[in-house]
Amino acid sequence: MTGKVISILIAVAVLGGLFLILSKSGGKRQNTEVKVKMPVLSALAQTGQSLFQANCARCHGLSAGGSSWGPPLIHKYYEPNHHADGAFYRAAANGVRAHHWRFGNMPPVPSVNQQDVTKIIAFVREVQKANGIF
């Protein structure tokens, strides 16, 4: 496949995911965005930040502070004792049934692999810690 075809397939998948989110939530959006203090990130978390912004930020916000499309990950619901790292791996691979928020179900994110998710988790956890969530 050419790069253009892959880009089109990814765009279709993302739009399909947004459609699913809206259809499951009745088209109602909520804004739960939180202000996020950004720390100086480790090299691993910097790579995770780039992956997060490319694959997750559309719904969870550029700094994981949420948006009107998805919840903030810089929130006590996602602290390691409540949502351990394994929850992030499962969410990316299988999607998540809505249970804390009214955004609808999160679809799987096929554009990230397990190694990508490890880097994304490093980013989220470092930002959480800088914001008093650990």
Listing DSSP states for 49-106 in one string gives HHHHHHHTHHHH-TTSS--SSS--SSSGGGSTTTS-HHHHHHHHHH-B---SSSS-PB
Torsion angles phi and psi, residue 96, rounded to 5: -140, 135
CATH of the domain at 115: 1.10.760.10
- Could you list the residue range(s) of the whole structural domain that residue 64 is in? 3-130
Q: Take residue 85 and report the two structure tokens written for it.
A: 């790292």
* Sign, Cα dihedral of 99, 105, 129, 64: negative
pLDDT at 79: 95
Instruction: Give the pair of three-digit tokens for residue 54.
Output: 């490319």
| Neighbour tally for 27: CB within 10 Å | 9
Taking the C-alpha atoms of residue 69 and residue 76, their distance in angstroms, rounded to an integer, is 19
How does pLDDT run along the chain (134 residues), one tens digit per residue? 665 655 554 544 554 454 444 444 444 456 689 999 999 999 999 999 999 999 999 999 999 999 999 999 999 999 999 999 999 999 999 999 999 899 999 999 999 999 999 999 999 999 999 999 98
- Count of the separate structural domains present in the chain: 1
Contact between 61 and 123 (Cβ < 8 Å): no
- Determine the pLDDT at residue 120: 98
Q: Is the pTM of this model over 0.95?
A: no
Quote the CA–CA distance of 25 and 112 in Å, as a whole number.
25
**What does the pLDDT read at residue 6?**
57
